[in-house]
Amino acid sequence: MPQLNPSPWFLIMLLVWAALMVIFLNKTLLISYLNHPTEATLETKHLTSWTWPWF
């Protein structure tokens, strides 16, 4: 088998790795900085008890 020139394959592998890292780091940063739920004030809380929607 002839040996392939490693230089273009190394560049392709490096570019693919960099693209995947950008995509995955973007997703993990979006997941880690989600808005945390805050306590609702008394005005916005529903005072009626919860029931099934079809009753």
Q: What is the pLDDT of residue 22?
A: 92
Band of residue 12 on the pLDDT scale cut at 50, 70, 90: very high
Q: Which of 7-16, 20-29, 45-54 has the lowest mean pLDDT?
A: 45-54
Query: Which pLDDT score, from 0 to 100, does residue 8 have?
Result: 84
Confidence of residue 50 (pLDDT cuts 50, 70, 90): confident
Q: Which amino acid is at 30?
A: L
